């Protein structure tokens, strides 16, 4: 059961079509009535990374959440929670992303993870962080439904089901963990640790429209026309990444999750349901990627020569100061524009994720000419 991923074609955010597609996908993974039972407290965990409206495709579309709520109600489940912790300003995110409206219309509980007492959850089998500052809503729910959005991630290549659970970490801890882990390898192990500690019961992917380019917050919407469902986040990401043209070997945290036994090996994943054509997502071309990694491992003293740092766009920047507030090691100073201390910067790009004005780029991203193509129709 843990290796099955159901794929159902869904070409628009029409509520009834989305509801039918999710219902079919859940039926295909089987035994859903054994997990979703009357009287359970069910937490929906969308991806609500930034205060951006649904048409920007940075966050899980509210129609997908609405369809899940309606299906749960049909099963007699009334205690439905919607929860997340965004990079910056979670209450505003709930409002802009349509979650408050849904909660009001369907009588769901809004769970701002940042406002509920942080529990240091202990998990012996974690590798890098045995104790994690997770929201108590995560521990108190009977069932967690992980509802990610399919997107390119500028640092981790891909974001879907595994990475969405990182939003279970409360508030600024999310940024501080970047400062603590320092290297990409360590951070990827923390992503897997969070999955291991939160253990979502069901995953439903909003793959109707994803984000390509400068994801996870400042890229472009692209249609992929699918809903995915699985009991296993790793299996879901193996299929999700493949559907947008990404080789799993490029996504370090998926590889680590497989090696640590949190999901099936690539060859053991069983895809069922509709045939969905692969749509290759455009992504930032990283210059000096390999050279940078070699320098980080072998010549840390010289690494700062190669390491990527944020570049600020004077036209788009609104001088809001959020990037400065977000930076876990105070590497950004606000002058007329933000400036970065290259020596201090740990290249986590939390600042880029938090900037919703598309004013931050990585210094190592090669400019590409705009392509005109007819993909994702
Ligand atoms: S770069 Fe973005 S987050 Fe930073 S001040 Fe400018 S608009 Fe705000
Ligand atoms: S400047 Fe940006 S990339 Fe550098 S450490 Fe701060 S948040 Fe991370």
288 close to 306: Cβ distance less than 8 angstroms: yes
Q: Which CATH number fits domain 285-366: 3.30.70.20, 3.10.20.600, 1.10.10.10, 3.20.10.10?
A: 3.30.70.20
Supply the pTM of this predicted model.
0.91
Handedness of CA 69, 75, 79, 85 (dihedral sign): negative
Residues 6+ apart with CB under 8 A from 67: 15, 18, 19, 21, 22
Pocket residue to mutate for ligand 2, from 327, 328, 359, 362, most atoms within 8 A of Cβ: 327
Q: Which atom of ligand 1 is nearest to the CA of 316?
A: 7
Give 296 Cα–ligand 1 centroid separation in angstroms: 28
Q: Which atom of ligand 2 is nearest to the CA of 347?
A: 3
155 close to 149: Cβ distance less than 8 angstroms: no
| Rounded-to-integer distance, Cα 115 and Cα 75, Å | 30
Question: pLDDT digits over 270-300, tens only?
Answer: 999 999 999 999 998 765 455 555 555 555 5
Q: How confident is the model at residue 107 (pLDDT cuts 50, 70, 90)?
A: very high
| Rounded-to-integer distance, Cα 267 and Cα 284, Å | 28
Q: How confident is the model at residue 336 (pLDDT cuts 50, 70, 90)?
A: confident
Q: How confident is the model at residue 30 (pLDDT cuts 50, 70, 90)?
A: very high
Least confident of 172-181, 226-235, 347-356, 364-373: 364-373
- Checking if the pLDDT of 122 tops 70, the result is yes
Give 110 Cα–ligand 1 centroid separation in angstroms: 28
Q: Do the domains spanning 4-273 and 285-366 agree at the CATH topology level?
A: no
Length of the chain as a residue count: 377
Q: Which CATH number fits domain 4-273: 1.10.287, 3.40.50, 1.25.40, 2.60.120?
A: 3.40.50
Pocket residue to mutate for ligand 1, from 311, 339, 359, most atoms within 8 A of Cβ: 359
User: Measuring from each residue's beta carbon to the nearest atom of ligand 2, which residues come in under 6 Å?
Assistant: 309-310, 326-327, 329, 331-332, 340, 345-351
Question: pLDDT digits over 341-360, tens only?
Answer: 999 999 999 999 899 899 99
Give the closest residue to 41 by CA, choosing from 145, 168, 164: 145
**Residue-range domain boundaries for the chain:** 4-273, 285-366
């Amino acid at each position: 059961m843990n290796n099955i991923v159901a794929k159902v074609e869904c070409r628009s955010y029409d509520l009834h079509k989305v509801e039918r597609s999710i219902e079919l996908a859940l039926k295909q993974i089987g035994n859903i009535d054994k997990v979703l039972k009357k009287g359970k407290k069910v937490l929906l965990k969308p991806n609500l990374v930034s205060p951006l409206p649904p048409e920007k495709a940075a966050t899980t579309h509210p129609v997908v959440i609405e369809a899940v709520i309606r299906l749960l109600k049909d099963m007699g489940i009334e205690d439905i929670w919607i929860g997340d912790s965004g990079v910056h300003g979670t209450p505003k995110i709930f409002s802009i992303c349509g979650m408050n409206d849904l909660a009001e219309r369907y009588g769901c509980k809004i769970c701002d993870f940042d406002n509920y007492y942080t529990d240091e959850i202990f998990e012996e089998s974690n590798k890098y962080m045995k104790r994690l500052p997770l929201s108590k809503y995560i521990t108190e729910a009977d069932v967690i439904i992980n509802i990610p959005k399919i997107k390119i991630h500028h640092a981790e290549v891909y974001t879907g089901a595994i990475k969405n659970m990182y939003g279970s970490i409360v508030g600024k801890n999310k940024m501080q963990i970047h400062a603590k882990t320092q290297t990409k390898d360590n951070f990827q192990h923390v992503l897997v640790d969070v999955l291991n500690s939160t253990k979502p019961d069901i995953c439903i992917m909003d793959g109707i429209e994803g984000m390509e380019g400068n994801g996870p917050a400042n890229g472009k919407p692209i249609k992929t026309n699918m809903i995915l469902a699985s009991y296993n986040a790793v299996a879901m990401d193996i299929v999700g990444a493949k559907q947008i043209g990404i080789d799993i070997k490029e996504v370090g945290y998926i590889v680590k999750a497989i090696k640590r036994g949190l999901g099936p090996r690539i060859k053991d994943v069983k895809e069922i349901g509709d045939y969905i054509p692969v749509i290759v997502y455009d992504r930032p071309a990283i210059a000096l990627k390999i050279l940078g990694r070699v320098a980080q491992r072998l010549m840390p003293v010289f690494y700062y020569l190669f390491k990527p740092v944020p570049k600020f766009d004077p036209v788009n920047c609104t001088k809001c100061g959020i990037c400065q507030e977000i930076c876990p090691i105070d590497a950004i100073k606000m002058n007329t524009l933000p400036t970065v201390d290259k020596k201090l910067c740990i290249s986590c790009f939390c600042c880029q994720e938090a900037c919703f004005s598309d004013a931050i780029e990585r210094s190592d991203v090669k400019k590409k000419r705009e392509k005109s193509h007819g993909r994702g129709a």
